[in-house]
Amino acid sequence: MSDTVISVENLSKQYHLGVISTGTFYGDIKRRWARKRGTPDPYLKIGEADYGNRDGETIWALRDIDFDVKRGEALGIIGRNGAGKSTLLKILSQVTAPTSGVVRVKGRIASLLEVGTGFHPELTGRENIYLNGAIMGMTSAEVQGKFDEIVDFSGVEQFIDTPVKRYSSGMYVRLAFAVAAHLEPDILVVDEVLAVGDAEFQKKCLGKMQDVAGEGRTVLFVSHNMAVIQNLCKRSILLESGYIRLDGETSSSVSRYLSVDQSHNVFSPDRNRRIGDQTTKIETFTVWPNPPRTGKSVEFIFGISKPSTGNTHENIDLAVAVLSQQDSPIFQLYSRHMGQSFSIGPGETIIKVSIDSLPLAPGNYHINLWLGSGSTPIDWIQDCFVLAIESGFFEGGEYIESKGYPVLMKSKWNVVRGNTGQVDLE
């Protein structure tokens, strides 16, 4: 098809594990000779293991990938860490070569794969703008015509004649994105690097990518922010362990991504997403009834532990934060809002917070838990519970599904003027 700008056929990428080269031809010969004789690697440092790739250990970062991207399409690429997203973008951007398969690209690509991509640290921001333009095949006059717009968008005008090695990571990204987006590429490739920028700049970048797609150019976007992916991309590819598991509407890909390996209504904290010294600790968290239902009462129950050798912890605040599957905040239950704090003594303490009528539509929601004192976290656990809510009656009425509106509000309806019939829903 003439409007296809990227065509990927049977694409695979394999990496070899272990140390590949010593950096010199002589060193590589000595290492190979040692392996052939079955003796230790002569270049190992004290305490290092001899991986050496002796058994031909390999890992497939991508396997049998096939897809096409059309002109003007904004394609999202999602998946867990290690799924192969960045490897795919590097191959499309010709940073690395595939092990097998064919990639056909029609048009000029601008890539933003990591902080500082394409920038020379010793050159100034001004010089790097012209350098990137030259790499993309633009003349000096063409770059000059876009120069003021790039600098204004990036917000680094004051530092434009400073070597970029002195830029912060945020300044790097602001200028790099401005260059990539404004030099009129046919295809704009953006990895998760935008997460380095502040919220205001991320919003500007999202708007610019929407403009780029609206002008008939193509955007490939990798992000772990599902709300942004759904806002920008109508179609998304879900990668799992190097394979394409789903290629279709973004809502379907995101739902599949969020549902993988998630246990509903089970407390499963990840130590990597736990903040605080945990001198007092959330040991368990449950919901009753299980499963909870729309419009019905529900209790969230904390099981809190404190070492028996410690003193009583005064002025403890607790919170339950409810977020959408895209990690957008919906509401929170915070003890301090109700004028309540707790004293937690040694041993086990059970504390519950209840809601008379659960105001959430059926579906799955993420839970963050907070145990702290004032603004200081003692045990703050993010994404530790998937709250699965089933359908029920809300305030005695009938629940009618309304996609995109998860919160149900209690309200009172009366006829002030007019002639109308009234139907009571039992």
Domain boundaries, the chain: 4-12+63-259, 18-56, 271-389
Q: Is residue 2's pLDDT more than 70?
A: no
Residue 397: the pLDDT is: 61
Give the single-character DSSP code of 173: H
Would you state the structure tokens that stand for residue 103, as one six-digit string? 């990639």
**pLDDT digit string, tens, across residues 231-266:** 888 999 999 888 998 898 988 888 777 765 555 777
Residue 1: the pLDDT is: 46
Please give the Cα distance from 89 to 110 (Å, whole number).
11
**pLDDT digit string, tens, across residues 93-107:** 888 889 999 999 998
**Strand ranges for 40-166 from DSSP E:** 58-70, 74-78, 100-105, 109-112
Residue 52: the pLDDT is: 46
Residue 425: the pLDDT is: 47
* pLDDT band (50, 70, 90) for residue 421: low
Under 8 Å between Cβ of 70 and 4: yes
Residue 278: the pLDDT is: 87
Percent of the chain with pLDDT strictly greater than 70: 84
* pLDDT band (50, 70, 90) for residue 54: very low
**pLDDT digit string, tens, across residues 12-24:** 998 866 555 656 7
Count of residues for the chain?
426
Written in H, E and C, the secondary structure of 307-366 is: CCCCCCEEEEEEEEEEECCCCCEEEEEEHHHHCCCEEECCEEEEEEEEECCCCECCEEEE
Lowest mean pLDDT among 275-279, 328-332, 394-398: 394-398
**pLDDT digit string, tens, across residues 189-208:** 888 766 666 677 777 888 88
Is residue 291 reached through a cis peptide bond, with omega within 30 degrees of 0 on the bond before it?
Answer: yes
Residue 331: the pLDDT is: 92
Q: What is the CATH number of domain 4-12+63-259?
A: 3.40.50.300
Give whichever of 42-46, 219-223, 403-407 has the largest mean pLDDT: 219-223
Dihedrals phi, psi of 348, to nearest 5 degrees: -105, 135
Q: Which residues of 125-145 are buried (b: 16+ CB within 10 A; e: fewer)?
A: bbbbbbbbbeebebeeeebee
- Closest by CA to 10, choosing from 86, 101, 93, is 101
Q: Which long-range contacts (CB under 8 A, 24 or more apart) does 226-233 make?
A: 226/78, 226/254, 226/257, 226/258, 226/325, 226/326, 226/327, 227/324, 227/326, 227/327, 227/328, 228/202, 229/76, 229/78, 229/254, 230/254, 230/326, 231/206, 232/74, 232/76, 232/206, 233/74, 233/75, 233/76
Q: Is residue 371's pLDDT more than 90?
A: yes
CATH superfamily of this structure's domain 271-389: abc- transporter (atp binding component) like domain (2.70.50.60)
| CA-to-CA dists, residue 8 to 30, 64, 67, 383, angstroms | 40, 10, 5, 35
Mean pLDDT of 60-89: 89
**pLDDT digit string, tens, across residues 259-301:** 655 557 778 777 667 888 888 989 999 999 888 888 889 999 9
Mean pLDDT of 220-239: 86
Residue 414: the pLDDT is: 79
Mean pLDDT of 309-332: 86
For residues 41 and 358, which has the higher predicted lDDT (pLDDT)? Answer: 358
Q: Is residue 227's pLDDT more than 80?
A: no
